[in-house]
Chains A and B, each alone.
Chain A
Amino acid sequence: MSTQTIVAAPEQSFALSVRARERLLGIASPIVLLAVWEIAARLNFIDTRFFPAPSSVIAVLIDMLRSGELISNTLVSLRRLALGALIGGVPALILGIAMGLNRWVRAIFDPLIAATYPIPKSAILPLALLIFGLGEGSKIFMVAVGVFFPVVINSTTGVLGISSIYLDVGRNYKANRWQTFWTIALPGALPVIMSGFKLGIGIGLILIAIAEMIGAKSGLGYMIWTAWETFSVEQMYVGLFMIAIIGFVLTVLLNEIERFIIPWKRD
């Protein structure tokens, strides 16, 4: 004897529980990993010279916070990042939009950008040191280079992707060049430009860490590098942790900025 009952799963609640489970796993996995790490370190299953217990890293982090060392190095790196993003991003934005709007400008700069883009940005650090010396200039320059390329490329792509009907509207309503730039090209390309900025700032963060490891006296990269030299592994982890936090906060911040300056995408 057999009875079969087929019950249709209520779809929505199922989908919700899946999402809730996903979120739970997302929070649980790093916690579990840290716990396993902590236990393994205390039981000497792993080499604490390379993988110090999270608790000892936190202890060093608190020390460094108290001494002000962590804050000052973080601020120095952030300042370089901000200046570099500005110095690289603004000209890239203007050039990129000009390339999108004008085929002659595009014809002139496209090959230059295509040729220099594939060069690994970290490879020009020695050149940057040669030109700008050991001071702030070389660090800011590296970030600027990292931000420049994704922004210029995305600005051009963004403008070229604007539906031609909008440019026709601009022409029909007699918008001049300047008005076309402000009312059509810039806002029309802004979503793509924003993702260029996000990408560029991510690259900038990588480059600032590298640049500060060589010939710098401050910054998070310098902090990580000196930790290697003095073999203070906990400090190294503090530096890595700080960079991860900066990356995360910047992502959240840029998403908020995007929501603010692109209100027409909001729902």
Chain B
Amino acid sequence: MNKLLNRRRVHELDRRQWLHVGGLSALGIGVSDWWSARQAVAETHSAKRVDRSATAQSCILIWLDGGPSHLDLFDLKPNAPTEIRGPFSPIATNVGGIEICEQLPRTAQLMDKVALVRSVTSPLGEHNFASHYLLTGYKPTRALTYPGMPSVQKYLSSESVAIPTNVAIAKPNAMIGSGYLPDSTMPFIVQGDPSRPDFRVKDLHLADGMTDSRLIRRRQFRNAVDELTRQTEDQLAQTGTTDSAFDQAFRLVQSPAARAAFDLQQESQADRNRYGRHLIGHGCLMARRLVEAGAKFVTVTDRGWDTHEDIYLRLKEGFTGGTAGKIPKLDQAYSALLSDLSDRGLLDSTLVIVMGEFGRTPKLNPRGGRDHWPGAFSVALAGGGTVGGQVIGSSDAHGERPAERPISPADLVRTIYRMIGIDGDTELNTADGRPVQVNRDGNIIDELIG
């Protein structure tokens, strides 16, 4: 009869069935039956569409918010004129022929694990538009907001593990949201700076007087309130959630192992120092703990890369004469993460991505900064099946455009999906039943995976 109706999301039909069998009629049965009926639906609703041939079981995205300078990190131009070259020189890495910024000495010694893509190119030079493109693989449109990669990952996998599978450390870029997918696929956000001495994920333990059985009862009651509010009027809520933040939190507090993953106090001082006493360092440390505990997609957001002014100060020194700029911190955190994952045998199954929304203008501006530049920029990938020790593509003499092998954000995102076992052609549905491919227009970067 109505296309709108016929194309409803699969899980909404399931909800409807549940409401039918588990709603009013469930009032005659006990809570546990009612509960298990609900769970049964929750578990069958999302068909497993995650490919077992994935090269990566989990993914850590280190998002350098604001747009990191490709010319000062991974794609230096020592032979370009001073106003393009910038203040930093390249150094050799442990892979012959690959040079990166001198401010990345520790990363340089791990270059055999890293693949640098130096020819990413996009037409979008505004933060939100560009972030949307890099994080979703789609250029933003007025018609539809697309989900970020972590939400797609969460939507397509149906594992109900104790640890939240999509976690964001520090407030993430707004473009990494659930888009047209249900709110329940939003990242679980760990607020605050995990490197601060007083930082801890609060309220992980049951309040005094609270017991496990009461917690279970609260969870049931809470669901009952919302479900019954809707159901009494025979209505299905758009925000219907199958694994809400509450559901995830309930599982989390009931699992000591999952709780422990958030507890950085359990790391030795030496390890904490190795990653660095700053947001990106401790964010990476927590990401490793979470991945170890079963998280699938952890996004560590490091702000402050929108360096319109004084890149020497911002990127290297942090404060005049210091060594606390963005790049030394990144170097410390990134190298510690890669070597730690490697030591623990986790690097082969964990894809680590370092990127931001665009690069910076080749020509330094009068304030010693660089402005937005999406024409050519670099992304670093390691682990999770990445063929390390290679550079893919190159930019031209001034880092303005790809000189060879131009790669669009759609290509990059499709490749990441492929690595975490998601076929880009998979079709999802919007709330109004519109089919949308996970990725469109992207081609897999074959040489990255080998």
Check if A and B associate: no
Q: Contact residues of A with B, CB < 8 Å?
A: none
Q: Contact residues of B with A, CB < 8 Å?
A: none
